[in-house]
Amino acid sequence: MTETIELGDIRILIHRKVVRNVHLSVHPPSGRVTMVTPMATRAEVARAYAISRLNWIRSQQTKLKKQARETPRQYVTRESHYLWGRRYLLDVVESKARPGVSLDHKRVTLKVKPGSDTESRARIMHAWHKRLLHEAVPPLIAKWEAKLDVTVAKYYLQRMKTKWGSCNHRAGNIRLNTELVRKPKDLLEYILVHEMAHLIEPTHNERFVTILDKHYPNWREARDDLNALPLADESWRTA
């Protein structure tokens, strides 16, 4: 069940869930505001709480507006690209051979057909990113299946415009944003643990927080580190 509260230029989306306390969040990159409230919370009480936190909301939105953003990638030689949190220079090589990507300690080499456009180069790079994630994710899933005593039925990798990850707890499936390949591996692990914890508790209630506190006690620092990194030229938010 969702509602909205309008406070001047601020619009707050209200989610009523089976929780004990009110949770107010300002999400990067645009400063979108949500509030999770107990099912029985009256509309006027939710509005009063939002008003009491208005200065905090505006402060968080101001911080997000100042946060660095990456420029759109053009996939040209000497362009900066990030992999697992480290900066590499791109070297584009036109060749009639099969397109592909290779990596050494300083640069990423993108082999493309002569005359290739930005979109086709982006597709080649994205396919490579997915291969890297397919190497990194299964060992992490196995590690955390044992720690959390859960089973991931399937995992999926895809571009996601609004989330770093998601979980279908009924089917036992999780989805991860391929943009995570650009971030440090410990932040990939944080998102993975976050989504796997939803196999135990599907909502962001106190029980969910307790699970993270017990099994991944530095999750808040990881979340803040992820939010502090330069945002991509598209819009992402933490899970």
Indicate if 147 and 43 belong to the same structural domain.
no
Provide block-wise average pLDDT over 10 residues at a time, the chain (239 residues): 86 88 80 90 92 92 71 90 94 95 94 96 96 98 98 94 86 95 96 97 91 95 80 46
Indicate if 52 and 120 belong to the same structural domain.
no
pLDDT score recorded for residue 234: 47
Q: How many helices (DSSP H) and strands (DSSP E) are in the chain?
A: 6, 11
pTM, full prediction: 0.73
Q: How many domains does the chain have?
A: 2
Q: What is the CATH number of the domain that holds 90?
A: 3.30.2010.10
pLDDT score recorded for residue 236: 41
Indicate if 17 and 90 belong to the same structural domain.
no
Q: Which residues of 201-234 are buried (b: 16+ CB within 10 A; e: fewer)?
A: beebbeebeebbeeebeebeebbebbbebebbee
Has residue 131 been placed in a domain?
yes
Indicate if 184 and 105 belong to the same structural domain.
yes
| Distance separating alpha carbons of residues 219 and 214, to the nearest angstrom | 10
pLDDT score recorded for residue 235: 42
Domain that holds residue 175: 80-228
pLDDT score recorded for residue 73: 87
